[in-house]
Amino acid sequence: MKINKTFIEDLLIIEPQLFKDERGFFYESYNKKKLDKKIKIVFVQDNESKSIKGVIRGLHFQAPPFEQTKLVSCVSGNILDVAVDLRTNSKTYGKSFSIELSSENNKQLFIPRGFAHGFQVLSETAIVNYKVDNYYNSKSESGLIWNDKDLSIDWKLNIKPILSKKDLKLMSFKDLKSPF
């Protein structure tokens, strides 16, 4: 397992070691002992979504004390995964990072607490899996509007995006009073 840093502190790309042969492939998608060498984390819940091409989910976060660390992977298809740093004491506050996660590259994105997270489906369908270190709490859920001009996220759109009614009503970055 390779753990690579990004330009945003604590936001990490994890590349599992892939074993391929004529039958297919095998890899450990999660190994607590190996991850604990770099990051001490206890995941308590696994989430999975299936979405069609053009769907954007996010940018979501949970406010303290229910914030969540996430370990995101795309087990079928491919997505553009996006994280926005909302930690007010961070040098990269308000900056975003994006990466393509797919069932081909098997990369994972480790997103610590204090980030908004979202993704866009690039393939016909995609199944996204993510582990979290805190349980979902509906009263603490919030988010940022996906196309906020101040965030300047390049979603690599080539079709009209599909969003939930709830995600279309999320706040702008300017209106955020970051709880982190």
Q: Catalytic site residue 130?
A: yes
Give Cβ neighbours of residue 31 (< 8 Å, ≥ 6 apart): 1
Q: Catalytic site residue 135?
A: no
**With contact defined as beta carbons under 8 Å apart, do 107 and 101 qualify?**
yes
The one catalytic residue in 30, 60, 93, 136 is: 60
Nearest Cα residue to 59 out of 86, 88, 41, 87: 86
The one catalytic residue in 93, 130, 135, 136 is: 130
Residue corresponding to tokens 């002992």: 33
Nearest Cα residue to 102 out of 71, 124, 80, 131: 80
**With contact defined as beta carbons under 8 Å apart, do 71 and 130 qualify?**
yes
Distances in Å between the Cα of 163 and the Cα atoms of 56, 63, 74 are 6, 22, 19
Reported in sequence order, the residue ranges of 6-150 that DSSP labels E, i.e. its strands, are: 12-15, 19-21, 24-26, 45-52, 56-62, 70-76, 78-85, 96-102, 108-111, 115-121, 125-132, 141-143
Q: Which residues are catalytic?
A: 60, 130
